[in-house]
Amino acid sequence: MLIIYLNGVSLNYARIYYYMGVIQMGTFIQAVDGTQIYVEDVGSGQPVVMLHGWPANNNMFEYQKNALLDAGYRYIGVDYRGYGKSDAPASGYDYATMASDIDQVITQLELKDAALLGFSMGGGIALRYLLNHGSSKISKLILAGAAAPVFTQREGYPYGMTKDEVDDLIADTRKDRPAMLEGFGKIFFEQEHSEPLTQWFHNLSVAASSHGTILSAIALRDEDLRDELPQIDVETLIIHGKKDKVCPFEFAEEMQKAIPNSRIEPFEESGHGTVLDEREKFNDTLLAFLK
């Protein structure tokens, strides 16, 4: 594997991958604890930082990336630690650590006036980033099917899975992760998609580390952002499928109540996977919000 150091700086470098005869180059950013975080940095113009859902990687935004590049934006797709091409350390899968990783990406790439999009678990991480690191480099926030303000049911919050159901998901992951992912995929989309496309999406999740998948599922189960959401101070668009079986639409309503300067764009024909269920509407809505 060839490693190129850019400008003599070891914290931000590029690796070239040979995959199925195609050369692929991506940037790696070093996190505070030394973990190497893979970033796909393509295009120019205003940066749009894309945070993927559990347990995929930034490639889930393939069709959004194409639309952003066509419209003249800079696509910044991040693979969390434990996912995609990033390192997979034994720890650091809580929202605060992953938000710190995102802060290092934004800081080391010297991003300014960036839009931040968080899908599903990425929505929780995006919110934690803004709460912990501020909004000086972020101009707009997009929460798409966000697993927030809380993913699991608790007192005063009767929405989503129970903690026991997430524990069962974790147990299934330990027993037969590919089978768990196949079952999870069956509730992910509302619309019918081709077998090659659903297999491609499944493969994104299979590529994740098993321990990263488990430990971030624990974070999903336990994190609670309700009391802090009023501190979010950037314009926020909430995209949410009305037929979402993973993060029910009530999540969007709770976020809209708590986040100042936010609005909901309901996707009537989408499940959790709005990026593919109503792909053209998603892209058009995103681009209109970015203008």
Provide the annotated active-site residues.
120, 244, 272
Instruction: Name residue, tokens 């894309």.
Output: 50
Neighbouring C-alpha atoms within 13 Å toward the C-beta of 273: 22
Distances from the Cα of 64 to the Cα of 17, 48, 82, 200, 284, angstroms: 23, 10, 23, 16, 10
- Pair 185, 179: CB distance under 8 Å: no
Cβ neighbours, 10 Å, residue 106:
23
Bond preceding residue 178 cis, omega within 30 of 0: no
Residues 6+ apart with CB under 8 A from 22: none
